[in-house]
Structure 1
Amino acid sequence: MTAGTTGAAGSPGGSGASGVPGPVREYTNPVWDGYFADPFVLRAGGRFWAFGTGGGEHAQELIGLVSDDLVTWEPHGPVLDPATVPDGRPHHWAPEVIEHEGQYVLYYSAGLYDTGHRIRAAVSDHPGGPYRDQGVDLTAGEPFAIDPHPFRDEDGTLYLFYCVDRLEGERVGTVVVVDRLVSPTQLAGEPRPVVTASSDWQLFLAGRSMYDAVHDWYTCEGAFCVRRGGRYWCLYSGGNWQKESYGVAAASAPHPLGPWTEEPGDLPTVVRTTPPTIGPGHASVVTDDDGQDWLVYHAWDVGGEARRICLDPLDWTASGPVCRGPSAEPRPAPAVRDLG
């Protein structure tokens, strides 16, 4: 069986052609053995398309997987058309995709290793790509911008959540902002704050040399927005993955442009490091055929050498989203009925 699959085919609790209940499908994290960071999952064309940041021989390249059931994955690619990759910025992070007017638009950041990253857009007629870079820096005015997340509101308005460095305030570091997309390749140029570090658990590194100075550097990144219960929720990762306080938290707002607020707390509330799972973060949300939300996230192996794609159910409580994870044992798989 392919990585992640531990049960027989057929939807959870479902019946076979004879009407006899079939075996429960199960999965075990990680659901793909290869390096796969910053996972985003798009459901399109009857399949699930995952996009992420590569490692190993695909270090800092965009990589793709495809699945029919969220559990059994196979590679697809290339994600980017190599003829359109921006010159001088060969390292690409954290891709996410949205369908727009019959095409698919992929957002990602491009830089040189961990410097000079800007948000880019690429277009394809097929959800799996290859995507053609459109030759535009959407965040040309920022010295560093990463982790783009496109979001379409119910009225059709497009927004882009992304992360930038800010040196003002009590806790300086990487923050989450949001701006309206005038078109798929142009921002309004009016970024609004979404998440700024407010707690000690969001500290990435004390005494970090950044921008010709030394700072206690805080990190909030990897934003993903969903609307549930009449409010907008932004899930984000915070802190340092090497510490047990690292994980995913959530802010909420009445509108995508805010104002965004968080419940006070000292630790991430959605999911956090729970050995043997280390550094669960940079999550996206996908919904199965039973209406259950699933948190798709990466987590490090025990040796801290690779990030791998994982998933667990995401529940909505009176105080916000809570993931039933991180898990490392076999569990019932997502409900997907059109397995063929």
Structure 2
Amino acid sequence: MLTTSEIRIRDPFILSDASNHTYFLYGTTDENVWEGPATGFDVYHSSDLEQWEGPFPAFRPEADFWADRHYWAPEVYLYEGSFYMFASFKAEGKCRATQILKADNPLGPFVTITEAPVTPIDWECLDGTLHVDQDGTPWMIFCHEWLQVQDGKMCAIRLTKDLRSPDGEPVILFQASEAPWTKTWDGTTYVTDGPFIYKNQQEELLLLWSSGGEKGYTIGIARSASGNVVGPWTHEELPLYAEDGGHGMLFHKFDGELMLTIHTPNNSPNERAIFLPVTEREGSLKLK
């Protein structure tokens, strides 16, 4: 068994399985996170968010898999009876991209469902996250990277029901510089990172996302004025978390408490997952 503080992980993501009273922890788990070659993704499981069993190999690439580095930010969703992983991958001479994988079990093994990613082939992209509309239409929200566009863009693309391919062209939701709390990463560029959709009690869509702030890696909240994924999106004045931690997502504990998980600090090899209770007030989210 490992404690949370013993697990080095970036971009933590929790899948809660109420049927087995089990939390599954996914994230960027390669030791050499910034270079190649990559190994894959590991998963841990726990009944209390404190003591974890693992690591277990959730994904290891097939011999002919196109990417060999930057295996980042896996997110896992139960959708149409199977478990789907959205994750970022990179290879020399190819754009970083989000690919979708599938398994029958939260522990994997996850395998690719298509040969190619679902993000545009000539876009540098990362951090795909799933959102399913009220009518059952699946969307993927993802980032068009600052590495290519300088002012990072948050985008959405409709997917086919089987999640195997895009069903239309990407829609730009906003650019990082539009939020009042963002700061440039290096004096000239703005980062978009780690989107995650949350529906509040008024059935409005809130989008958690990360960028640079006054104290480093920061999480802010955007709100869809129309109530659907294409927006338009407005930005809350103050960030949700501003203490050099980010790439957040929300989940409910088995007692119903809403939780935010992030990694902090944002420097390797010291990054760790933390779990913070969150409350919903006046349609927005606040740390308790």
Q: How does the TM-score come out when normalised to structure 2? A: 0.85
1:49 matched to 2:24: yes
The 1-side partners of 2:48 and 2:92 are apart by 34
The corresponding residue for 1:272 is 242
Partner amino acid, structure 2, of 1:244: K
2:189 is paired with a residue whose SS is: strand
Cα distance in 1 for residues equivalent to 2:229 and 2:11:
22
Counterpart among 43, 49, 65 of residue 86 in structure 1: 65
Aligned equivalents of 1:262, 1:316: Cα separation in 2: 17
Question: Structure 1: which 4+ aligned runs deviate by more than 4 Å?
Answer: 57-60
Does 2:49 correspond to 1:107?
A: no
1:226 Cα deviation from its structure 2 partner? 1.0
Aligned to 1:251: 222
1:148 aligns with 2:128: yes
Cα distance in 2 for residues equivalent to 1:66 and 1:174: 34
Asked if 1:162 is matched to 2:133, the reply is: no
Cα pair 2:146 2:190 within 8 Å, conserved: no
Map 1:173-252 → 2, pairs under 5 A: 173-182=151-160, 183-197=162-176, 198=178, 199=180, 201-206=182-187, 216-228=188-200, 229-239=202-212, 244-252=215-223
Match of 1:124 among 103, 125, 149: 103
- For residues 113 and 62 of structure 1, do their structure 2 counterparts lie closer, same or farther at Cα, with a shift above 3 Å needed? farther
2:235 pairs with one of 250, 257, 262: 262
Higher RCO (CA-CA < 8 Å; seq separation 6+): 1
**What is the aligned residue count?**
275
CA change 1:99–1:319 in 2 (3 A) is: closer
Q: CA deviation at 1:271?
A: 1.0
- AA matched with 1:139: T
Q: 1:293 to 1:195 in 2, by over 3 A?
A: farther
Q: State, as a whole percentage, how many aligned pairs show the same letter.
A: 23
Structure whose CA Rg is larger:
1
Equivalent residues of 2:9, 2:29 under 8 A apart: yes
- CA 218–115 in structure 1, closer or farther in 2 if over 3 Å, else same: farther
User: Counterpart of 2:156 in structure 1: which amino acid?
Assistant: V
Q: Deviations for 1:72-95, whole angstroms, at most 9, x for unmatched residues?
A: 222242121432662343331111
The one-character-per-residue Cα deviations of 1:273-308 (angstroms, maximum 9, x if unpaired) are 0xxxxx21001111123322100111027x753211
Q: TM-score, normalised by structure 1?
A: 0.73
Q: Distance in 1 between matches of 2:147 and 2:28?
A: 27
**What do the CA deviations read for 1:19-70 (whole angstroms, capped 9, x no partner)?**
xxxxxxxxxxxx3412110011111352111110024267754221111122
Q: 1-side partners of 2:72 and 2:228: how far apart?
A: 27
Matched, 1:316 2:288: no
* Aligned-partner Cα distance in 1 for 2:196–2:91: 25
Give, as a single letter, the amino acid of the residue that structure 2 aligns with 1:153: D
For structure 1, which runs of at least 5 residues remain unmatched after alignment?
Answer: 4-30, 207-215, 274-278, 325-340
Structure 2 residues not aligned, in runs of 5+:
none
Shift of 1:203: 1.3
Shift of the 114–295 alpha-carbon distance from structure 1 to 2, 3 Å rule, reads farther
Query: Residue 136 of structure 1: which of 116, 135, 138 is its match?
Result: 116
In 1, Cα distance between equivalents of 2:33 and 2:144: 25
